[in-house]
Protein backbone atom coordinates (compact mmCIF):
# COMPACT_ATOMS: atom_id res chain seq x y z
CA UNK A 1 0.00 0.00 0.00
CA UNK A 2 2.84 2.38 0.85
CA UNK A 3 4.39 1.85 -2.58
CA UNK A 4 1.07 2.66 -4.29
CA UNK A 5 0.68 5.86 -2.28
CA UNK A 6 4.23 6.87 -3.16
CA UNK A 7 3.64 6.09 -6.84
CA UNK A 8 0.37 8.08 -6.89
CA UNK A 9 2.09 11.10 -5.29
CA UNK A 10 4.94 10.89 -7.80
CA UNK A 11 2.64 10.68 -10.84
CA UNK A 12 0.25 13.40 -9.68
CA UNK A 13 3.03 15.86 -8.90
CA UNK A 14 4.96 15.00 -12.07
CA UNK A 15 1.93 16.18 -14.01
CA UNK A 16 1.51 19.14 -11.66
CA UNK A 17 5.02 20.39 -12.38
CA UNK A 18 4.60 19.77 -16.10
CA UNK A 19 1.29 21.68 -16.03
CA UNK A 20 3.16 24.61 -14.48
CA UNK A 21 5.74 24.28 -17.27
CA UNK A 22 3.26 24.67 -20.10
CA UNK A 23 1.45 21.37 -20.62
CA UNK A 24 -1.85 22.73 -19.34
CA UNK A 25 -1.91 25.53 -21.91
CA UNK A 26 -0.81 23.06 -24.58
CA UNK A 27 -3.85 20.91 -23.78
CA UNK A 28 -6.53 23.58 -23.29
CA UNK A 29 -5.16 26.68 -24.99
CA UNK A 30 -4.52 30.05 -23.34
CA UNK A 31 -5.20 29.80 -19.62
CA UNK A 32 -4.43 33.32 -18.46
CA UNK A 33 -0.70 33.09 -17.85
CA UNK A 34 1.80 31.01 -15.97
CA UNK A 35 0.40 31.92 -12.56
CA UNK A 36 -2.77 29.97 -13.39
CA UNK A 37 -0.69 26.91 -14.25
CA UNK A 38 1.28 27.37 -11.03
CA UNK A 39 -2.00 27.47 -9.12
CA UNK A 40 -2.90 24.12 -10.66
CA UNK A 41 0.46 22.72 -9.55
CA UNK A 42 -0.10 24.12 -6.06
CA UNK A 43 -3.56 22.55 -5.94
CA UNK A 44 -2.08 19.16 -6.81
CA UNK A 45 0.52 19.57 -4.05
CA UNK A 46 -2.27 20.55 -1.66
CA UNK A 47 -4.39 17.56 -2.65
CA UNK A 48 -1.43 15.23 -2.16
CA UNK A 49 -0.79 16.59 1.32
CA UNK A 50 -4.50 16.62 2.24
CA UNK A 51 -4.74 12.96 1.24
CA UNK A 52 -1.69 11.94 3.28
CA UNK A 53 -1.74 14.26 6.29
CA UNK A 54 -3.52 13.55 9.56
CA UNK A 55 -5.71 16.65 9.06
CA UNK A 56 -7.03 17.96 5.73
CA UNK A 57 -6.15 21.62 6.28
CA UNK A 58 -2.44 20.83 5.99
CA UNK A 59 -3.22 20.48 2.30
CA UNK A 60 -4.50 24.05 2.11
CA UNK A 61 -1.37 25.35 3.81
CA UNK A 62 0.82 23.21 1.53
CA UNK A 63 -0.94 24.59 -1.56
CA UNK A 64 -0.19 28.15 -0.46
CA UNK A 65 3.44 27.28 0.31
CA UNK A 66 3.81 25.42 -3.00
CA UNK A 67 2.46 28.40 -4.92
CA UNK A 68 4.92 30.69 -3.14
CA UNK A 69 7.75 28.34 -4.08
CA UNK A 70 6.54 27.90 -7.66
CA UNK A 71 6.80 31.61 -8.36
CA UNK A 72 10.59 31.58 -7.98
CA UNK A 73 12.41 32.16 -11.22
CA UNK A 74 15.37 30.23 -12.58
CA UNK A 75 18.52 32.20 -11.67
CA UNK A 76 20.69 30.72 -14.44
CA UNK A 77 18.28 29.14 -16.91
CA UNK A 78 16.75 25.70 -17.11
CA UNK A 79 19.15 23.82 -19.36
CA UNK A 80 22.28 22.90 -17.44
CA UNK A 81 25.36 23.36 -19.59
CA UNK A 82 27.98 24.43 -17.03
CA UNK A 83 28.51 24.14 -13.28
CA UNK A 84 26.91 27.55 -12.70
CA UNK A 85 23.68 26.26 -14.30
CA UNK A 86 23.63 23.27 -11.95
CA UNK A 87 24.10 25.60 -8.98
CA UNK A 88 21.23 27.73 -10.28
CA UNK A 89 19.02 24.67 -10.55
CA UNK A 90 19.88 23.67 -6.97
CA UNK A 91 18.94 27.21 -5.91
CA UNK A 92 15.69 26.99 -7.87
CA UNK A 93 14.87 23.59 -6.39
CA UNK A 94 15.44 24.92 -2.90
CA UNK A 95 13.40 28.07 -3.57
CA UNK A 96 10.55 25.78 -4.59
CA UNK A 97 10.84 23.38 -1.65
CA UNK A 98 12.05 25.44 1.32
CA UNK A 99 8.56 26.91 1.95
CA UNK A 100 7.13 23.38 1.97
CA UNK A 101 9.98 22.08 4.13
CA UNK A 102 9.37 24.90 6.62
CA UNK A 103 5.71 23.91 6.79
CA UNK A 104 6.66 20.26 7.24
CA UNK A 105 9.07 21.20 10.02
CA UNK A 106 6.34 23.26 11.71
CA UNK A 107 3.99 20.27 11.89
CA UNK A 108 6.71 17.75 12.76
CA UNK A 109 6.86 15.99 9.38
CA UNK A 110 9.99 14.86 7.53
CA UNK A 111 11.09 18.23 6.12
CA UNK A 112 14.45 16.82 4.93
CA UNK A 113 12.70 14.83 2.18
CA UNK A 114 11.49 18.06 0.66
CA UNK A 115 14.91 19.69 0.80
CA UNK A 116 16.37 16.58 -0.85
CA UNK A 117 13.78 16.87 -3.63
CA UNK A 118 14.85 20.48 -4.16
CA UNK A 119 18.58 19.73 -4.28
CA UNK A 120 18.04 16.77 -6.62
CA UNK A 121 16.33 19.01 -9.16
CA UNK A 122 19.74 19.90 -10.64
CA UNK A 123 20.89 16.37 -11.49
CA UNK A 124 17.40 15.48 -12.72
CA UNK A 125 17.44 18.39 -15.15
CA UNK A 126 20.94 17.39 -16.24
CA UNK A 127 19.94 13.77 -16.90
CA UNK A 128 16.75 14.81 -18.66
CA UNK A 129 18.72 16.82 -21.19
CA UNK A 130 20.52 13.67 -22.35
CA UNK A 131 17.40 12.02 -23.73
CA UNK A 132 13.71 12.83 -24.06
CA UNK A 133 11.05 10.40 -25.23
CA UNK A 134 8.76 11.26 -28.12
CA UNK A 135 5.27 11.79 -26.68
CA UNK A 136 3.87 14.95 -28.33
CA UNK A 137 0.65 14.85 -26.28
CA UNK A 138 2.79 15.42 -23.20
CA UNK A 139 4.93 18.07 -24.85
CA UNK A 140 7.83 15.65 -25.19
CA UNK A 141 9.64 15.73 -28.51
CA UNK A 142 13.21 14.70 -29.29
CA UNK A 143 13.55 17.53 -31.84
CA UNK A 144 15.95 19.90 -30.18
CA UNK A 145 15.94 20.63 -26.48
CA UNK A 146 13.28 23.06 -25.32
CA UNK A 147 13.96 25.44 -22.51
CA UNK A 148 12.67 24.24 -20.09
CA UNK A 149 13.15 20.59 -20.88
CA UNK A 150 9.68 19.08 -20.53
CA UNK A 151 11.06 15.71 -19.48
CA UNK A 152 12.96 17.41 -16.64
CA UNK A 153 9.76 19.04 -15.42
CA UNK A 154 8.09 15.64 -15.15
CA UNK A 155 10.99 14.25 -13.13
CA UNK A 156 11.29 17.32 -10.91
CA UNK A 157 7.58 17.10 -10.12
CA UNK A 158 7.93 13.40 -9.41
CA UNK A 159 10.72 14.18 -6.97
CA UNK A 160 8.49 16.71 -5.26
CA UNK A 161 5.69 14.13 -5.02
CA UNK A 162 8.10 11.59 -3.54
CA UNK A 163 9.33 14.18 -1.06
CA UNK A 164 5.78 15.03 0.01
CA UNK A 165 4.79 11.40 0.42
CA UNK A 166 7.94 10.43 2.29
CA UNK A 167 7.67 13.49 4.54
CA UNK A 168 4.17 12.48 5.61
CA UNK A 169 4.42 8.70 5.77
- Domain borders along the chain are 2-168
The per-residue pLDDT for 134 is: 80
- Residue range 65-83, pLDDT digits in tens: 999 988 877 777 777 888 8
**Model confidence at 32: pLDDT above 80:** no
Say if residues 100 and 121 touch (Cβ distance below 8 Å). Answer: no
The per-residue pLDDT for 38 is: 87
Closest of 38, 8, 14, 47 to residue 157, by C-alpha: 14
Amino acid sequence: MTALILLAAIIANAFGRRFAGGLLSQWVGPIGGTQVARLVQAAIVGATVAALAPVWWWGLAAALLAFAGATAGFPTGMVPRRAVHYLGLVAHGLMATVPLAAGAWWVGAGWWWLLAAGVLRAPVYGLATLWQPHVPALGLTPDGLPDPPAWAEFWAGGLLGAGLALALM
